[in-house]
Amino acid sequence: MLDPARSYDLIGDVHGCAHTLEHLLDTLGYRFQAGVWRHPERIALFLGDIIDRGPRIREALHIVHDMVEAGQAHCIMGNHEFNALGWSTPALPGSHKQFVREHTPRHARLLEETLSQFDQHPQDWHDFLAWFYTMPLFIDAGRFRMVHACWDAGLIEPLRAQYSDGCIDEHFVQASAEPGSFASNVFDRLLRGTDMRLPHGLTLTGGDGLTRAFFRTKFWEDDPQTYGDVVFQPDALPDLVAKTPLSPLEKNALLRYGIDEPLLFVGHYWRSGNPAPIRPNLACLDYSAVLYGKLVAYRLDQETCIDPRKFVWVDVERPEAVQ
């Protein structure tokens, strides 16, 4: 799918920050020509989560879609695009649900910015939903890989056997409504990452206002000892939880993306601070653009280790909404 000899610009979660995206593309040397952002030599690779939360979701989708259609970019699917498909897809008869993603207040709240911005453009939204099916769940370019949240070879290999280009269909979305199904596991793992349940029935209310019984975990740590060694999310664990030792069972259940595997790029994790590699072969490019963080790109050429000097970003002026 991707020419390994090309140079690429990988771009983290846009979440409706269209002005910031234009600013970033301009900074990277892309120019708006004949209606599409283009670079004379390079191709943009988006890590998913173009929609939700931000002020210019429809504009952001048009920018990315038009680049992809013109051969100037590829875009993989984020959990927000998958959720939008689930929200819009009727559940299979007999599943006790009306939609794959039930229309609860919590789910409605996550999608409300997107739906309200398309309120006057129903055909446009309909077309974008169809286009989401052309976004692969992962890209394996040989010397580097992309997935929105977590590379799990144990799921990607069987997924690839079924969907060789990584693009799923409506049957897959419908199957994902069933907890524990292959489709549900793939969606959870690849697009939302690994997590663990907080001990003793504890819950955490995140900076986003949502309360969760789980916390996000690293999927590459070789020899973690405590909960604090594996937590990977903006909200810190309570001290006592962080010091809790991992049981052998919990350690065994953790994924370990190897240091000798191809370069891997993910989005999804609401990082803060200055963009940097997590490991020589792993980088997260989501630095919370929509929360007045940074929209981040990595300029990938032929290197075999992620180079800390090749991150490029735009600080999101607060707030993009009134620019």
Binding site for Mn ion (CB under 5 A): 49, 78-79, 268
Helices (H), 94-247: 105-117, 122-132, 153-162, 170-175, 182-186, 227-230, 239-242
Q: Please give the Cα distance from 77 to 20 (Å, whole number).
A: 20
CB count in 10 Å sphere of residue 57: 26
CB count in 10 Å sphere of residue 186: 24
**Residues in a beta bridge with 298:** 10, 311
**Least distance in angstroms from the C-beta of 192 to Mn ion:** 7
**Least distance in angstroms from the C-beta of 16 to Mn ion:** 13
Residue whose C-alpha is closest to residue 296's, from 281, 308, 279: 308
**Least distance in angstroms from the C-beta of 189 to Mn ion:** 13
For the record, the structure tokens of 154 come out as: 């144990």
**Which one, 30 or 187, has the nearer CB to Mn ion?**
187
**Which one, 216 or 268, has the nearer CB to Mn ion?**
268
Q: Considering all CA atoms of the chain, what is the largest pairwise distance in Å, rounded to the nearest integer?
A: 58
Find the residue with minimal CB distance to Mn ion: 268
**Least distance in angstroms from the C-beta of 21 to Mn ion:** 16
**Least distance in angstroms from the C-beta of 301 to Mn ion:** 27
**Which one, 86 or 224, has the nearer CB to Mn ion?**
86
Instruction: Tell me phi and psi for residue 95, to 5 degrees.
Output: -95, 5
Positive or negative, the CA dihedral 158, 160, 166, 171 is: negative
Task: Map residue 215 onto helix, strand or coil.
Answer: strand
**Which one, 72 or 176, has the nearer CB to Mn ion?**
176
**Least distance in angstroms from the C-beta of 44 to Mn ion:** 18
**Which one, 36 or 156, has the nearer CB to Mn ion?**
156
CB count in 10 Å sphere of residue 183: 19
**Which one, 38 or 53, has the nearer CB to Mn ion?**
53
